[in-house]
A and B are shown apart, each in its own frame.
Chain A
């Protein structure tokens, strides 16, 4: 009888290559500049959509994930509360799932990111996706 290994690594999708911080930095920097550009010209929906593009996830370097989190949080903190539902309506389902992952990641650091803003995002996203997006955040191993 085969051994029973409960290794986490067993169930990580190794078909997705792990990217290093070095590989990812340029992309994040580029994205950060574009997001800032959108934010300063008041195009918040585009800023959020841009920030959610190609996030470092899963086995990607933790340093890159941390930097990327800053970019997303900048985009999420920019619009006024009343704009949030409008932006959420413009996002595709897969973008909402990614957004939800960042909302949870951001709420892990209440001293760094304003939790009340994140709670508003959480509320508005759940209104569109139902509990489904929360369930998917809980199960997904491609953590951001």
Chain B
């Protein structure tokens, strides 16, 4: 299969978010409604295998724990569910997580050791959930201060204690999500020596204002990157470390992921993933990963094509295609294949209903 692999999972429906399983044979997506769709790989294409229905409002985020094989989903109905595969029936069984929030849940991620997960919410707090064996349910603790608006994104530090959160109050913050009984006492040389639950280890603004869409830790966890609606990507080397800002040349980026200690892939409203790199003394855009289609591919106008265009746009020849694989905003960038400390392949999903797997 040649790269990038383009999979049109949905037609005319956005993919709100996506999450692959460990061996990348299945993918869970939110088709911009209350359902979670699980697609299974069949040869080179994906076929819908299961629909998980338990939420009653838009599913905003999904994460699939690779080792424990559990799916966590959260939605605007203020709930999160942990889905466990029942081996006998092959069905996913939901377990409700009491988040104790009065606004939508916006983002969810399993911790690296998969013993906790963090839910970002519109209640101006982050809920950290862990499983309580005695009561057979998930217990949540809240990080509230000093969050002043909806939290939009979460990323776990690789050591399982710290989380980064991107917030609509224009700040990216690093918190401790230390849970007694689960985590061993921890200190981090970069982010702090004492890390009780809720400690604010760092707070960073956006250079030109604009709320923070997404945050990411580098593979070592020593560098934090965030993207704001001002279109800039900023990088911090710890609470006292230097901050770098790479100016974007286009529309705001909404999702990013480190692919190496000195490289980041970010994508958003431009429908193209960009590669940012630390070059010498500065972070900057070094490449657009989508070089565009050769236009010749789209010029084979079949009669069917012509009628389709006439039906949908009342035109036969208008060229409304963007010169990129994604035809609408990219909503999510996630690592797909990691070799050592480097991500060699990553996946993106977007408002155009496409799931694309890219090779770096």
Contacts and interface: CB of A to CB of B under 8 A. Distances in A.
Q: Do A and B bind each other?
A: yes
Nearest to A58: B209
Contact of B102 (A1, A11, A132, A139): A1
Interface centre among A2, A4, A130, A139 (most CB of B within 10 A): A139
Interface in A42-93: 93
Contacts of A1: 102, 123
Contacts of B248: 130, 132, 135
Given A10-B148, A139-B209, A93 B247 contact: yes
A140 B124 contact: no
Given A2-B144, A132-B247, A139-B209, 16 more contacts: A11-B148, A129-B247, A130-B249, A132-B249, A132-B250, A135-B229, A135-B230, A135-B250, A135-B251, A135-B252, A136-B231, A136-B232, A139-B210, A139-B231, A139-B252, A141-B209
Interface of B: 102, 123-124, 144, 148-149, 169-170, 205-206, 208-210, 228-232, 247-252
A4 B122 CA distance: 10
Q: Interface size bucket, A side?
A: 10 to 19
A139 B208 contact: yes
A132 B252 CA distance: 8
B329 to A, nearest CB: 14
Interface in A120-144: 129-132, 135-136, 139-142
Interface of A: 1-2, 4, 10-11, 13, 93, 97, 129-132, 135-136, 139-142
A135 B205 contact: no
B249 A11 contact: no
Contacts, number: 57
15 contacts: A4-B124, A11-B149, A13-B205, A130-B249, A130-B250, A132-B247, A132-B249, A132-B250, A136-B232, A136-B247, A139-B209, A139-B229, A139-B230, A140-B208, A141-B209
A8 to B, nearest CB: 12
B296 to A, nearest CB: 27
Nearest to A12: B209
Contact of B249 (A97, A129, A140): A129
A139 B250 CA distance: 14
A131 B253 CA distance: 12
B40 to A, nearest CB: 39
A140 B252 CA distance: 13
A136 B249 contact: no
A10 B168 CA distance: 12
A131 B249 contact: yes
A140 B251 contact: no
B337 to A, nearest CB: 31
